[in-house]
Amino acid sequence: MITDSWRKQLIATNKIFDNLSDEELMQEVSPGRNRGIYLLGHLTAVHDLMLPLLRFEEAKYPELKPVFIDSPDKAVEAIPSAVQLRQQWKEVNETLSNHIKNLPADDWFTRHANISEEDFIKEPHRNRLNVLLDRTIHLSNHRGQLLLLKKKI
Amino acid sequence: MITDSWRKQLIATNKIFDNLSDEELMQEVSPGRNRGIYLLGHLTAVHDLMLPLLRFEEAKYPELKPVFIDSPDKAVEAIPSAVQLRQQWKEVNETLSNHIKNLPADDWFTRHANISEEDFIKEPHRNRLNVLLDRTIHLSNHRGQLLLLKKKI
């Protein structure tokens, strides 16, 4: 159910990004708030870091973290282009989706990378499935904001 | 994990509502979009309908549905006051939380009210837990928008 819910949120978010022009991505979701391009970079950076967090593989674009996670929008002058971020977003999610599809059910209940084996015995809910649930909610949170960028007909 | 995630989203959303004045609730989350008060009514209506959907009890405020689910914002002239909606929101979630807390783990994997027993045999993922997961994501989606109402310091 959770992997299905992740997949659905991703499809819905991609639909929004696909319908937004690069120009529209440069708009703020609300006056004074994050721009669409920042949210694209932020989500790409967060999903990229899920690769090591879920113990799948190393992050592909760790250079996104200081710009799109550690810094707020407009704090960093030079950010990657929309074209480049769209490409990275696609690539990160494809890699992630392949791992997710192939992970045996039982393995979802094993620890994620940010908890030691000893602590995990005491806190078994800090497992990989919980990371996916948390990131599904994170994605949905920002998807609600991205929706505001779409021009009303 | 899912009930925990529901609870956390609810706490985070309440924190936003508590920090918004009734006046701020009348603002749109972005120009031309839903007002805070509409989202409060919408979430109250959706959570209220979870009571029968999860087979807990009847909806408390079914009159909210035509205004806050079937109609978009500003389509209905006379809507309940912020004071009244805040009260209903609190009440609905308290009732819901009590049921959620008391439902035995196995019962989460039984059917929700919108699927027949026959169909449920074929589609066992259409269970009560999946409703809760779906509504957690729904809540988070709108929470991301409500965040935009908070004045930047």
Q: What is the pLDDT of residues A43-101, one digit of tens each?
A: 999 999 999 999 999 999 999 999 999 999 999 999 999 999 999 999 999 999 999 99
Are the CB atoms for B49 and B137 separated by under 8 Å? no
Q: Which residue of A has its CA nearest to B13?
A: A141
How close does chain A come to B17, measured CA to CA in Å? 16
| SS3 of chain B: helix, strand, coil, percent, to 5 | 65, 5, 35
Tell me the helix, strand and coil percentages in chain A, rounded to 5.
65, 5, 35
- Taking the Cβ of residue A136 and every Cβ of chain B, the question of whether any pair is shorter than 8 Å is answered with yes
Report residue B69 as tokens.
């689910």
> Would you say B125 and A4 are in contact if contact means Cβ atoms under 8 Å apart?
yes
Q: How far apart are the first and last CA of chain B?
A: 34
Q: Please report the beta strands in B65-151, taking only residues with DSSP state E, as ranges in sequence order.
A: none
Has residue A153 got a pLDDT over 80?
no
At residue B150, the pLDDT reads 83
Nearest CA to A10 among A61, A38, A44, A55?
Answer: A44
Distances (CA, A) of A116 to A35, A53, A123, A129, B102: 37, 12, 10, 16, 32
pLDDT at B152 over 80: no
Above 70 in pLDDT, residue A152?
no
Q: Please report residues of A whose CB lies closer than 8 A to that of B9.
A: 137
Q: Compare CB distances from A137 to B125, B140, B148 and report the shortest one's residue.
A: B140
Which residues in chain A have Cβ-Cβ distances shorter than 8 Å to B133?
Answer: 1-2, 5, 133
Would the CB atoms of B1 and A133 count as touching at under 8 Å? yes
Which of B:26-85 have CB within 8 Å of A?
Answer: 29-33
B148/A5 CB distance under 8 A: no
Q: From the CB of residue B31, how many other CB atoms can be counted at a distance below 10 Å? A: 9
Of all residues in chain B, what percent carry a pLDDT higher than 70? 99
Cα–Cα distances (Å) from A13 to A43, A59, B38, in that order, read 10, 21, 23
Cβ contacts of A34 on chain B, cutoff 8 Å: none
The verdict on B111 touching A (C-beta cutoff 8 Å) is: no
Give pTM, 2 decimals. 0.94
Residue B127 pairs in a beta bridge with B111
Residue A107 phi, psi dihedral angles, 5° rounding:
-65, -20
**Contact present, B56 and B132 (Cβ < 8 Å):** no
| CB B41, CB B144: distance < 8 Å | no
Q: Which residues of chain B lie closer than 8 angstroms to A33, CB-CB? A: 148
Place B109 in a pLDDT band, splitting at 50, 70 and 90: very high
User: Contact B125/A1, CB-based, under 8 Å?
Assistant: yes
C-alpha A5/C-alpha A13 separation (Å) is 12
B137 vs A5, A33, A125: nearest CB: A5
CB nearest to A1's CB, from B9, B130, B143 = B130
B35, B64, B141 from B144: Cα distances, Å: 13, 22, 6
Per-residue pLDDT, B119? 96
The reported pLDDT for the residue numbered A121 is 96
- Residue from B129, B147, B36 nearest B89 by CA: B36
Question: For B124, which residue in chain A has the nearest alpha carbon?
Answer: A1
Q: How many DSSP H helices and E strands does chain A contain?
A: 7, 0
